[in-house]
Structure 1
Amino acid sequence: MTDRFDYFVVFAEMRTGSNFLEANLNAFESVNCHGEAFNPHFIGYPNKTEILGIAMSQRDADPMSLLEAIKNDETSISGFRFFNDHDPRVLETIIEDPRCAKIVLTRNPMDSFVSWKIAQATGQWKLTDVRKRRDSKVTFDGQEFAKHVARLQAFQIELMNGLQKSGQTAFYVAYEDLQDIEIMNGLARFLGLEARLEALDGKLKRQNPSHISEKVENFDDISTALKELDQFNLARTPNFEPRRGAMVPTYIAGYQVGLMFMPIPGGPADSVVDWLGATDGEGPDGLQRNMNQKQLRQWKRRFVPNRAFCVLRHPVARAHSSFCKTILSTGPGSFSKIRRTLRNRFALPIPETMPDEVYGVDEHRIAFKQYLTFVKANLAGQTAIRQDAHWASQANIIAGFANHVMPDRVFREDELRGGLPELAAIVGAENVPEFEEETPEKPFDIADIYDAEIEAMCQDVYQRDYTVFGFAAWK
């Protein structure tokens, strides 16, 4: 600790240069940065088992114990790196503590996104020997990038507002600043250190120094994606927009008809998008997506009348759908890191990969019940894993919608066949197709495993949804 601070946190994200910043911080004799101390999938570093005598299991059960150990480390001023998907249980305490020095590291979101995709493709997250450098071109996905930026925006705004309300400021570092030794020594002054660096760390090497056009297969698609975003000052805190939890980029609207679908993660999606695309006339690929607030306002002014709608799914069916798509599956859309953590640390009894011939309906029922146990703890703030929208309550998600756009209709899933054509008629849509229900989940439908215990567990987890929306038992 120093006269100014007891400990520090580096707020950053993947591929922003946080490893290099940590290496230079640790070059100061009295500084000890403990890596990603609150990463829910490991503690500090992937092969580490403890920090300052606090094991990962103890940290998961009581994250404040690790925070206190770091804060009270008398051998140095200790700190850690913290990303937007790290344990949310400690974030408020960190932000509000004036004895915690805040360092905010940012990078141009496009550069960090492409670097992240290359690291995923090559499996190389650090480079110390350029002879071992792995190279790969990646395909740019505009929708994935929009979601990436939205996550950064939300986290940066949360940090900014927390610092504003507590009367604090942070030391801001851009990726480009990391090579400036004077800025690194300025950071030392901010922390209250007397020592100064004479040279920067030389071990870590930049992995992808070429122009972005040489890293991406479909470089021209980037220009199209950027037209949908505010391109100005994206890399600087705190100018991220919008300030919301409304998930505007996920809304899907017609180009020819004034209908807009506001998907609830875990609820019906593909079948509704197919219907909307057919109603609009150009199919699902012809619909308007990844809108920002300005484009949404323009869309609403263009279509009068217009109607926005979302679809509720019964909590039992939604929980099962989210489990199958994000946790059980190992295909596209699955949460591979959370899946691995649930298998290793929460003893979730699912195969390492899917499909699996041994995994039967009895195993599926047991695994789903174990998943519900995890969700209950997660939504109660008792785990280090993020509270993802796929298993958050539908009441909270719709409340987030209302921060920007109130849905005109909130359908139940079993009302879609009759309700969607009626809504289309209000906005003057013609040639409205019949709604086709979604196919059952794989490898098993909820009907294959449903029992009274599952119903009771879901009612326990999603009591608010049952109360607010008047859900009865699934069967």
Structure 2
Amino acid sequence: MRTGSNFLEANLNAMQGVSCHGEVFNPYFIGQKDKTSFLGFSLADREADPMALVRAMRAAGDGLAGFRYFHDHDPRVFEPVLQDPQCAKIVLTRNPVESYVSWKIAQETGQWKLTNAKNLKTAQARFDAPEFEAHLAALQDFQIRILHGLQVTGQTAFYIDYEDINDLDVVNGLAAFLGVPGLAALDGSLKKQNPEEISQKVVNADEMERALTRLDQFNLSRTPNFEPRRAPAVPSFVAAQRAALLYMPIKAGPEDRVTAWLAGFGGTEGEFSQKSLRQWKRARPHHRAFTVLRHPVARAHHAFCSQILDGNLREIRAQLEKAHRIALPPLGQRYGDVAAHRAGFVGFLKWLKLNVAGQTGVRVDPHWASQSAVLQGFGQFQTPDVILREERLAEGLAYLAAEIGIEASPPLPAAEPDALLAAVYDDEIEAAARDAYARDYMAFGFQDWGR
């Protein structure tokens, strides 16, 4: 509600045949702050019939007329406008922490728009973790409602990130989407209000950093993809104490073995923030970061046993039993026979296909998110220097140690064979895994398990 959307609105209004009338359905004003009437409608008139105002905007002039709509605006307008294929949708997204802090600063200063830098009002916000989580949940719910509404009505929207609104080519791509001529230059009247690093905008940066590490992921910049984007998961990274090696673990992979190998270099350290990890990297300019892929069948079976059967994810376990009719043994126990275990695992794999594709009401947990998505999440902070395979892990780690000048590295603990998976594995299980993880099979060239 500050510079980003104001700047986008200014450039829309600069386009030939386009009129953006501001926050027409803001509960406290019409269009612009302190304005209480528009096109002959008072606040009371708008309250009585909000869609009449939509019709009035359409009839008011030539070309396209539009407005800015936020998640807390009049809900009666949302569905009719979303379902109308003649209404173009532009979805402006921003890093949710940046948007929250910007909102808090605006509350402190009372300044929502800046056209003259001499009039800049500055303040530091206080990060409130429960308030941020509520803010995040509201924004995420709104994004999902938009995406679902577009999907079920066969529409698309023009997604534009806060960082892209200063790109003339992107803005002219938006003009092409609307079917109007592009701009020769962007609007220059608005000024960025708080260009500082995010940690400088709050009075309790350390507290904010600790609070954010507890959150699993941020999906607010999500676009219509099959699988939600993942955060880089920096706090899960593990480094050797006396070697410049950084392990970026993929959940349900060989984490214990790799961590034990790293511990042979005088111990390990972890629980990094992005700031502390950058400091670690700067102190070790010859560092190497790596991750390890596990075969999708083995990884899914490990997740099934450790997270579902052992009951670490009880809410998801309950969903599998109640909503998807997957027969599970008592909590913390194993099936009484191999046939029952095989049937339960096949059911889990079929559910994974739906879950990873975003077709269930349950989150995509890191233990079974596709390894492609996890690597893309890492890439938001950094990509690993080396991607190793579990089946050739000892060779890969020896190569990695040699890369940083270590000729004799610690021994790698032996892998424990998954005898239960070997007992139930067959063509149906392989086919179900390939269905669930088609992207991983294609991206990483996995053959059938055990080959």
Residue 428 of structure 1 deviates from its aligned partner by 2.8
Question: Aligned residue for 1:343?
Answer: 321
Structure 1 unaligned regions, length at least 5: 7-69, 74-92, 98-102, 113-147, 168-228
Question: What CA distance in whole angstroms lies between the structure 1 residues aligned with 2:367 and 2:296?
Answer: 11
Matched residues in 2 for 1:452 and 1:353: separation? Answer: 28
1:253–1:288 CA contact under 8 A, matched in 2: yes
Instruction: Judge which range, 340-349 or 430-439, deviates more.
Output: 430-439
Q: Deviations over 1:403-460 (max 9, x none)?
A: 221211101101111121221122233652221233345xx63111100001111111
Amino acid at match of 1:463: A
The whole-number CA distance in structure 2 between the counterparts of 1:361 and 1:427 is 46
Q: CA deviation at 1:363?
A: 0.8
1:273 is aligned to 2:259: yes
The aligned residue for residue 318 of structure 1 is 299
Letter in 1 for 2:232: A
Given that residues 270 and 438 in structure 1 are in contact (C-alpha distance below 8 angstroms), is that contact kept between their aligned partners in structure 2?
A: no
1:395 pairs with 360, 364, 372, which one?
372
Alpha-carbon spacing, 1:387–1:327, altered in 2? closer, same or farther (3 Å): same
| Alignment pair present for 1:386 and 2:371 | no
Superposition map of 1:31-430 within 5 A: 108-109=128-129, 230-232=205-207, 245-278=231-264, 280-282=265-267, 287-330=268-311, 334-356=312-334, 359-429=336-406
1:445 alignment partner in structure 2:
420
- Work out the CA distance in 2 between the residues paired with 1:155 and 1:323: 28
Q: Deviations over 1:243-262 (max 9, x none)?
A: 98211111101121000100
| SS, match of residue 311 in structure 1 | strand
Over residues 95-138 of structure 1, what are the superposed CA-to-partner deviations in whole Å (9 max), with x where a residue is unaligned?
A: 989xxxxx9999844x89xxxxxxxxxxxxxxxxxxxxxxxxxx
User: In the alignment, which of 458, 461, 464 is matched to residue 436 of structure 2?
Assistant: 461
Once residues 398 and 321 of structure 2 are traced to their aligned partners in structure 1, the CA distance between those partners, rounded to angstroms, is 43
Change (3 A) 1:422 1:385: same
Distance, in Å, in 2 between the alignment partners of 1:411 and 1:338 is 30
Question: 3-state SS of the aligned residue for 1:309?
Answer: strand
Q: Any conservation in 2 of the 1:252–1:289 contact (CA below 8 Å)?
A: yes
For 2:81, the equivalent position in structure 1 comes to none
How far does residue 366 in structure 1 lie from its aligned partner after superposition?
0.3
Aligned with 1:260: secondary structure? Answer: strand
In 2, the alpha carbon distance for the partners of 1:367 and 1:266 equals 18
Gaps spanning 5+ residues in structure 2: where? 1-23, 28-73, 78-88, 94-99, 105-125, 145-158, 166-203, 222-229
Summarize the Cα distance change of 1:372–1:233 in structure 2 as closer, same or farther, 3 Å threshold: closer
Amino acid aligned to 1:265? K
Give the Å deviation of 1:5. Answer: 7.7
Q: CA deviation at 1:318?
A: 0.9
Identify if the C-alpha distance between structure 1 residues 355 and 236 changes in structure 2 by more than 3 Å, giving closer, same or farther: closer
Deviation at 1:315, TM superposition (A): 0.9
The alpha-carbon distance between structure 1 residues 96 and 327, as it changes in their structure 2 partners (threshold 3 A), is farther
1-structure distance, mates of 2:432, 2:284:
43
Q: Do 1:107 and 1:235's aligned partners in 2 also have CA atoms closer than 8 Å? A: no
- More displaced stretch, 444-453 vs 268-277: 444-453
1:115: which partner in 2? none
How well do the aligned residues superpose, as a CA RMSD in angstroms? 4.5
Residue identity over aligned pairs, in percent, reads 35
Q: 1:96 to 1:336 in 2, by over 3 A?
A: farther
Give the whole-Å Cα distance in 1 for the aligned partners of 2:410 and 2:211: 46
Match for 2:322: what amino acid? N
1-side partners of 2:441 and 2:161: how far apart?
37
Q: Which residue identity is paired with 1:344? A: K
User: What's the secondary structure of 1:407's corresponding residue?
Assistant: coil
Partner amino acid, structure 2, of 1:251: F
Aligned to 2:31: none
Q: Secondary structure at the match of 2:326?
A: coil
**Amino acid across the alignment from 1:255:** Q
Distance of 1:328 and 1:162 partners within structure 2? 42
Contact 2:401–2:409 (CA under 8 A) maintained in structure 1: yes
Deviations 1:256-278 (A, max 9, x none): 10001000112110011001111
Inter-partner Cα distance in structure 2 for 1:163 and 1:416: 40
Q: Name the aligned partner's letter for residue 452 of structure 1.
A: D
- Does the 8 Å contact 2:127/2:208 carry over to 1? no
Alignment partner, residue 199 of structure 2: none
Task: Sort the Cα spacing of 1:423 and 1:373 in 2 relative to 1 into closer, same or farther, 3 A.
Answer: same
Higher Cα Rg: structure 1 or 2? Answer: 2
Residue 378 of structure 1 deviates from its aligned partner by 1.1
Report how many aligned residue pairs link the two structures.
Answer: 277
2:350 and 2:127 map into 1 onto residues whose CA distance is 38
User: How far apart are the structure 2 equivalents of 1:4 and 1:265?
Assistant: 44
Deviation at 1:389, TM superposition (A): 2.0
For residue 445 of structure 1, give the secondary structure of its aligned residue in structure 2. helix
Aligned mates of 1:293, 1:354 — CA distance in 2: 36
SS at match of 2:447: coil
Instruction: Compare relative contact order (CA 8 Å, sep 6+) and give the higher one, 1 or 2.
Output: 1
- Residue number in structure 1 paired with 2:64: none
Alignment partner of 1:471 is 2:446: yes
Pairwise CA distance, 1:372: 0.8
Could you report, residue by residue, the CA deviation over 1:211-240 in whole angstroms, capped at 9, with x for unpaired residues?
Answer: xxxxxxxxxxxxxxxxxx942556999xx9
The 3 A distance-change label for structure 1 pair 460 and 233 is closer
